[in-house]
Structure 1
Amino acid sequence: MEHLIESDEGGWTKLILNRPAAKNALNTGLLADLAAVLNRLAGDPGCRAVLLQGAEGNFAAGADIAEIETKSSAEAALDPRKTHWAAIRAFPKPLVAAVEGFALGGGLELALMADLLLVGDTARLGLPESNLGIIPGAGGGQRLLARVGPARAARLVLTGEIIDADTAFAWGLSSHRVGDALAEGATLAARLALRAPLALAAAKAALVEGAEAPLALTAERAAFETLLDSQDKAEGIRAFREKRKPVYQGN
C-alpha cells in the first residue's frame, strides 16, 4: 500500500502512516488502507496487538485540507471516510498509538481511538479545526471530552490550542509519557502480544462500551457536515493557504 507500511513483528504488527511530505495527513486513501489492514488483522491469530505510528517525525498533522476544501455537506453525508473510521474503531485487539511530532485534527482523532496512547518528547497534540471554520468530524471532540473533562476539552476545541507531551500526560489525554514514543511503543506492543488475547479483547470491548456509550458522536458528525457548506469554512481554508488570519462573518 502506497501510504501505509506494514511490518510483521512476530506476534504484533507495526503500521506506519507514510505521507511524510504532508506530515502524514489522513487523506481518504490512507484511511481506507488503514481500515482494510486492521480488518484483516482482526481475523489474523498471528497478530495480537498493533502499533500505529507516523513516518519521519510526525504522527499525523490532520485531515487532507485539499479534500475538505471543496467538500459539501451533501458529499460528506455519503463520505466513505465515515465507514473507514468506524472500521478502525471496531478493531478488537489492543491498538497502541506512538505519537511523535504533530497529532492534530484527524491525527489526534485517530490517536484517541487507540487503547494506549504514548507521547514522546516532540509530541504536539490538538484539535484546531475551529481555526478553519469547522469542528472535529470523527468523534474527536466527544472522545477528548470523555478523557480530559469539559474544561480542558473546551479549551482545545474552542481555542485551537496545541499542547505538548507533558500537558497531554498531566491531563490524562495520553496513557504514557516517554522519551522515545516509537521505541517504547514497540516494547509495549510486544508485551501485549504475550498476554491472553481473549481477555484483552474482552477488556477492550468493555472499556470502549463504557467510555463511548454516553457520547453524542452522531451529533458531532452532523454539525461537522453542516459547517462544510459555510462561507466561514471557505474563508478559514483560504486564509490557511494564504498564511494569514481569517476574517469570519458568521455565515
Structure 2
Amino acid sequence: MTGAALRVEDRGDFVLATLDRPEKRNAIDLAVIDALHELCASLEAHPRTLVLRGAGGAFAAGADIAQLRERTAADARAGINTRAFMRVHALPMPVIAVLEGHTLGGGAELAYSADIRIGTQSLTIGNPEPGLGIIAAAGASWRLREIAGEGIAAEIVLTGRILSGDEAFAAGIVTHLHADGDAAFATAVAIAKRVAALDPAAVQASKRVLGAPRSAHPQVDLTEQAILFDSPEKHRRMTAFLERKQQR
C-alpha cells in the first residue's frame, strides 16, 4: 500500500510504515488516520511486525492543528485519533516505533501505542495540549503512566514538559537511544528480524498476556500456554533444540 500520508512497504520480516508529510513535520491529519486504519485492517488479517517511523527527521509534531481547531464536541466523543491509536496498540504482532526529532501531542500518543520505542539524540517528546486549550486524550493519560510511571506522566501531561532523547531514555519511554535515525532504524530492523525467527503464535500469545489486566493473571497465561503446549510447532521447535544440543 502506498499513500500520500503514509508510505507502507513490505520488508519481508516486517512491514514499514512511514509518516510522510515532512512539510508539516508529519502532523497527523485525517488522511493519516484513515491510512492507519487501512494498515491495521491488513495487519489484523495477516499479522506481521510493524515498524513505524517519520520522514524528514521528525516522527510526528502532533495532530494537524488546522483540522483540530475545527473539531467539535461530537468529534471528541468519537475519538478520531484515540480509536486509531488503540487499534495500532492492539495489533497481534509487535509494533516498533523509531522516534526522531519532534514527537509531540498526537505524535507522542501514537508513539506510546507502540510496544517498543527506539529514540535518537534529536528526539523531543511530550504532550503540550493544555497550552492549546485541550487535553492529551488519545492515550497519554493512561498509557504514559504505564510506560514511565505516575511522576513523569503527571509532569508531562499536567505541565506540558517536553523530554529530550536522553530524558526519554532515562524515563524508560524509549529503551534504545542512538545518534541518528539511521542507527535507530537499524536497531528496529534487528529487533523485527529477531521476532521473525520466533514462533508467530507464541509471539501473539505473549502480546495478549502482556496486555491483559492484572486481574486476569495467571489464568490468561495458563490458557494461552495450554494451547501452545498442544501445537505441532512447539513440538517441532523443541525437538530441533534437543537435536542441536545432542550434536554439540
Letter in 2 for 1:181: A
Q: Identity over aligned residues, as a percent?
A: 36
1:194 aligned onto 2:197: yes
Partner of 2:97: 97
Letter in 2 for 1:3: A
* In structure 1, C-alpha distance between the alignment counterparts of 2:81 and 2:148, rounded to whole Å: 26
Partner of 2:120: 120
Partner of 1:2: 4
* In structure 2, C-alpha distance between the alignment counterparts of 1:75 and 1:6, rounded to whole Å: 27
Bigger mean CA offset, 115-124 vs 73-82: 73-82
Question: Shift in Å at residue 82 of structure 1?
Answer: 4.2
Change (3 A) 1:166 1:80: closer
Letter in 1 for 2:45: G
Task: Map residues 201-216 of structure 1 onto 2, 5 A cutoff.
Answer: 201-210=204-213
What number of residue pairs does the alignment pair up?
211
Partner of 1:44: 46
Structure 1, unpaired ranges of 5+: 214-251
Change (3 A) 1:166 1:210: farther
- Which secondary structure state, in structure 2, belongs to the residue aligned with residue 38 of structure 1? helix
Letter in 2 for 1:108: A
1:17 aligned onto 2:19: yes
* In structure 1, C-alpha distance between the alignment counterparts of 2:34 and 2:215, rounded to whole Å: 23
Task: Map residues 164-179 of structure 1 onto 2, 5 A cutoff.
Answer: 164-179=164-179
Structure number with larger C-alpha Rg: 2
Partner of 2:233: none
Partner of 1:30: 32
Question: Shift in Å at residue 109 of structure 1?
Answer: 0.6
Maintained 8 Å contact 1:39/1:91: no
* In structure 2, C-alpha distance between the alignment counterparts of 1:79 and 1:139, rounded to whole Å: 10
* In structure 1, C-alpha distance between the alignment counterparts of 2:133 and 2:178, rounded to whole Å: 34
Partner of 2:229: none
Question: Shift in Å at residue 171 of structure 1?
Answer: 0.9
Maintained 8 Å contact 2:101/2:124: yes
* In structure 1, C-alpha distance between the alignment counterparts of 2:80 and 2:117, rounded to whole Å: 26
Change (3 A) 1:187 1:212: farther
Structure 2, unpaired ranges of 5+: 217-248
- Which secondary structure state, in structure 1, belongs to the residue aligned with residue 49 of structure 2? strand
Partner of 1:249: none
Letter in 1 for 2:195: L
Change (3 A) 1:212 1:128: farther
Maintained 8 Å contact 1:6/1:14: yes
Change (3 A) 1:111 1:164: same
* In structure 2, C-alpha distance between the alignment counterparts of 1:116 and 1:211, rounded to whole Å: 20
Partner of 2:150: 150
1:181 aligned onto 2:184: yes
* In structure 1, C-alpha distance between the alignment counterparts of 2:31 and 2:177, rounded to whole Å: 31
TM-score normalised according to structure 2 size: 0.79
Partner of 1:245: none
* In structure 2, C-alpha distance between the alignment counterparts of 1:109 and 1:79, rounded to whole Å: 13
- Which secondary structure state, in structure 1, belongs to the residue aligned with residue 36 of structure 2? helix
Question: Shift in Å at residue 20 of structure 1?
Answer: 0.6
Instruction: Give every structure 1 segment of 4 or more consecutive aligned residues whose post-TM-superposition deviation is greater than 3 Å.
Output: 78-83, 210-213
* In structure 2, C-alpha distance between the alignment counterparts of 1:20 and 1:65, rounded to whole Å: 15
Partner of 1:62: 62
* In structure 2, C-alpha distance between the alignment counterparts of 1:33 and 1:150, rounded to whole Å: 32
Question: Shift in Å at residue 212 of structure 1?
Answer: 11
